[in-house]
Amino acid sequence: MARTFQQAAYLSTEELVQGVIETLIQESPILDRMPFIEVQGNSYRYNQEATLPGVAWRAVNGSYTESTGTVNPVTENIAILGGDADTDTFVQQVMSDVNDQRAVDTAAKVKACAAAFQSAFFLGDTEVDPNSIDGLKTRLTGGQVITGGTNGIPIIGNGGTDIHAFLDKLDAAIGQVRGIDTSNGAIYANRTVIAKLAAAARRISNELQFSEDIAKKRVPMWNGIPILDAGIGVNGLDILAFDETQGTATTSTSVYVVKYGAAPHDRGVTGLTNGFVQAKDLGEISSKPAYRTRVELFAGMAVFGGQAAARLKGVLNG
């Protein structure tokens, strides 16, 4: 049974865990909506459909030639993300008159976890960091990667035909994600792309509409799909920055279209977890005069089906 982080927060009886989950939900446009399947152990194994079995029309009293489809076994691992937040005993004593300093330090650690998970969701590569997870950039191939143009594609450009060309590419990416709608999907881009997309829509008298999405947040929409800021990484920079190369352009970015699913048969992107969030108050530690709180997220992700997500690459800041 899949649950969202919001549902996990409701079921938790630990105040610290509830607070950590609520912060994750507030900070992450992924963790606020992606369903998570709870698994036993440190991995999740499933069969991914490779080819369908053959079928045929037959005559009366005729027979069929037996054939069986093929599947590829896939194993997704649960990774460990987290850290320790230490608060000096002196700081806790003398600076907690306005805000509890341990709570402040813990919240900062949780925000960093949210940023790190978001970065891995899009850009993770286990060949670079074997302790992380493979993100969408690593996983998506073939028809699920739409090239904006040989040397990139501007969003506004000449203010007319270039806008339509970009929107055609965006629609093509959405079209590659089967079954996506307001209730299960999202378009992710950096904040500059979102602002330019709104400006482009105004120029063709097609302003972005705002509506309530799956996470009950009021967000801009394109063709009924919420448009969300992929966020800032731990390094303080846009996760989907203008740092990709497309032909001669060395400052392009990507836009991702994602459909979420609560089970393999939904053929979407689904989170995997063993225990959701672990948050522990370790008290005053012996190695130094400080109180320690440990926050960990045991999580992974699976992309069920070949059309659960798509990437539009080569998007220019223009």
What are the phi and psi torsion angles at 211 (to 5°)? -155, 170
What's the pLDDT at 51?
67
Residues of the chain with pLDDT under 70: 1, 49-52, 70-72, 97-98
Strands 218-222 and 225-229: what pairing? antiparallel
Transcribe the chain into DSSP letters. -EE-HHHHHHH---HHHHHHHHHHHHH-TTTTT--EEE-STTEEEEEEEEEPPP-----TT--------EEEEEEEE-EEEEEEEEEEHHHHHHSTTTS-HHHHHHHHHHHHHHHHHHHHHHH--TTT-TTS---HHHH--GGGEEE--BTBEESSTTSSHHHHHHHHHHHHHHHTSTT--TTTEEEEE-HHHHHHHHHHHHHTT-PPEEEE-TTS-EEEEETTEEEEE--B-TTSSBTT-S-EEETTEEEEEEEEEEEB-SSGGG-SEEEEEEEEEEEEEEEE-SSSSEEEEEEEEEEEEEE-STTSEEEEEEEE--
pLDDT at residue 135, rounded to an integer:
96
pLDDT at 65: 86
**pLDDT tens readout for residues 149-163:** 999 999 999 999 999
For 87, phi then psi, to 5°, come to -125, 120
Say what the pLDDT of residue 15 is. Answer: 84
- Residue 253: closest CA among 267, 265, 263, 238: 238
What digits encode the pLDDT tens for the residues 55-110?
888 899 888 888 777 666 788 999 999 999 999 999 898 877 667 898 899 999 99
What integer pLDDT is reported at residue 11 of this predicted model? Answer: 77
Q: Which residues contact 205 (CB under 8 A, 6 or more apart)?
A: none
**What whole-number distance in Å separates Cα of residue 252 and Cα of residue 317?**
7
Which pLDDT score, from 0 to 100, does residue 114 have? 94
pLDDT of residue 49: 66
Sequence ranges of the domains in the chain:
2-49+75-135+267-303, 151-263+306-316
At the top level of CATH, the class of 2-49+75-135+267-303 is: alpha beta
